[in-house]
Chains A and B, each alone.
Chain A
């Protein structure tokens, strides 16, 4: 088998294994609850008979291993079970919120990735000048800010003082595309500010590392222009680290999205998760955590695969 293909297959297999282990951990964690799900639903005053009946109905009497595979099988078919608190099917709760969160994250990615990579390359080219120092201090400052500080700061400026955007982003099913963008832009800008700094610093670092390599020096000595050195010689080798950086920051975004959604009362998955944690709605927390964790693992997997494929050294056998 070709070396590259073999590495990709190995990496994908490892990713699938990680997903399975994580899903098992998420499932097992609930087993540590004081009492079990049936006691959670019925509360303190339940009689032993009703408890036994509910346990039977929920299938809690079957062994955990069997229940885990039932649960996993259900999820693969889009059935997450039902909420402990509201008794509604979780899939119904998740459906629209997942779309909202994805569109928010997508908008933030579309703004932040070109911005961060552009600024990172600029800072690397202007290394040790005032441009680089300004960008460096600016990004360190942005990294240090808690998400809600950025969010409330933007609300204060753009919705209270200037009145351009609403301070609360309640997106219902009936909004048009333009309205949706208008409502989502402020939360997306918050996310952008959070992740751009990280991505930019890492892009800068990886390009600087490359510019110090002998083959780049060689290209310079041949008389290639600065633009040619960066775009033709350095950039192809920088793709792998940059893609990794982007995937890592989509992970930062997952944490950020939870807080940003709470600040803007945005009806997404993050807000559902926080509400469910407060209510101790175990099954919903389980489902939401599994989705966030899977998204994280899949993004990392995709990044790794791209960096394997984009590594020119692997294409040539030794």
Chain B
């Protein structure tokens, strides 16, 4: 492992640095931000100045403070969603792999159908029906992404349930839950960790896309996607400010992708 860490490429190092910075900003948001999240502190659309480092937004709230607080909201929602998607997807996959037979068939066919529609389209349909709120957003996106997790986790688990030690546990008379969580899960954990990073970027982009469309995080909460939408008209005046929240999203996704790329490269065992 240390051998891999020492040979870590610059891109992956850059990725870890970015993630560390984001985590600090999100955790210490109230200490770093010069103004509160939703307070109106000046006139609308102020240019960059000493008082407002990145100017003010369409309602006169401080851009920089909102960017910092949005790290909390956007990342919090994305992490929660990815976690729920993993818990759902992995449980279903372990269940399907342990039980096999018709249980596996039924769950797999349901997942096939869910995966045959693009995620954004299904989430739009479900948001229309259940209404737009942060909780609905988290649950809907988590459900939709759990299908992909299911596929991958099932493939991994299928390779494990045929192992001798699982057979031994069955013969010992262990219950289904013991086999699922004590025998199969620990051995499936490693490949699933890299997958977590990859899924996180997709969830993160989908959540911010929905917020950008005005269907995700609702005002006055700060969210990077929603901030782009709120201030988009500034672009036509040649002002860069609306690109900053979008850039914040892009930078984090890039960082995670660099790390996942490196992890997959290490895992594939290619030497070059």
A interface residues, Cβ below 8 angstroms from B: 18, 21-22, 25-26, 29-30, 32-33, 128, 137, 140-141, 143-149, 152-153, 155-156, 160-161, 167, 251, 254-255, 258-259, 262-263, 273-274, 276-278, 280, 282, 285-286, 289, 292-293, 296-297, 300
Contacts and interface: CB of A to CB of B under 8 A. Distances in A.
A149 B119 contact: no
B209 to A, nearest CB: 6
Most B CB within 10 A of own CB, among A32, A263, A277, A296: A277
A143 B235 contact: no
B215 A277 contact: yes
Contact residues on B (Cβ < 8 Å of other chain), bracket:
35 or more
Nearest to B204: A146
Given A152-B243, A296-B117, A30 B129 contact: yes
Given A144-B254, A148-B228, A277-B215, A285 B125 contact: yes
B118 interface: yes
Interface of B: 11, 112-113, 116-122, 124-131, 201, 205, 208-209, 212-215, 225, 228, 232, 235-238, 240, 242-243, 246-247, 249-251, 253-254, 257-258, 261, 272
Dominant secondary structure of chain B at its interface with chain A = helix
Given A146-B205, A258-B213, A278-B215, A285 B128 contact: yes
Contacts of B237: 160
Nearest to A262: B213
Nearest to B121: A292
Given A141-B254, A258-B213, A274 B124 contact: yes
Contacts of B127: 277
Contacts of A251: 118
Q: 3 tightest A-B contacts by CB? A: A149-B246, A144-B253, A144-B254
Nearest to B113: A21
Given A145-B246, A258-B121, A282-B128, 5 more contacts: A140-B258, A161-B238, A258-B213, A285-B124, A289-B125
A187 B116 CA distance: 26
Given A148-B212, A255-B118, A259-B213, A160 B238 contact: yes
A144 B201 contact: yes
B11 A137 contact: yes
B19 to A, nearest CB: 13
Given A18-B116, A140-B258, A144-B254, A149 B243 contact: yes
